[in-house]
Structure 1
Amino acid sequence: MTKQVENCPIESSLKQISGKWKSVIIFRLLEHPQCRFNELQKLIPECSRRMLALQLKELEHDGLISKTVYPVVPPKT
């Protein structure tokens, strides 16, 4: 029987980066800190657009990445 540790930072961190693509996305963003969505998709061609958008949204929600929208035409994030 295992005892669950409350407020364990390791467990919390693993929950935030769990999933097939989150760690790959973080790795690519460490290589290219300012990267547009399409550029990131080209760096991870195996990941679908929908999944990439979903994973980016979750990473942003968890505070692991930030999204900056620049006021230009066409819109740049």
Structure 2
Amino acid sequence: MKVTNNIVVVIVIWFSALCISNMTFNLNDFHFNQSLVDCQGYAINIWTNIINQANLGKEVMHEQIIIFPLDLITIETSFLNK
């Protein structure tokens, strides 16, 4: 059980360091432009592709978060004008 706790502590320390460096250096996303391709030319999904997809989703959600309060204001004023 002690070994498992040590592993958890190490993982927490590494993720904490990653979060601190992310906030310190404003590393909002990571871009990996290389994909693995098999002999027939099809892309092989690897972890970097998953990270890229997550970053794209984060960018889209960030735009929606900015627009969302404006949508609430327009809905509220349309009810008041009726």
Which category of TM-score, normalised to the shorter sequence, fits these structures? under 0.3
Point out the structure with the larger strand share. Answer: 2
Tell me which of the two structures has the higher relative contact order, counting C-alpha pairs closer than 8 angstroms and 6 or more residues apart: 1
Point out the structure with the larger helix share. Answer: 2
Structure whose alpha-carbon radius of gyration is higher:
2
Q: TM-score, normalised by structure 1?
A: 0.27
Q: TM-score, normalised by structure 2?
A: 0.26
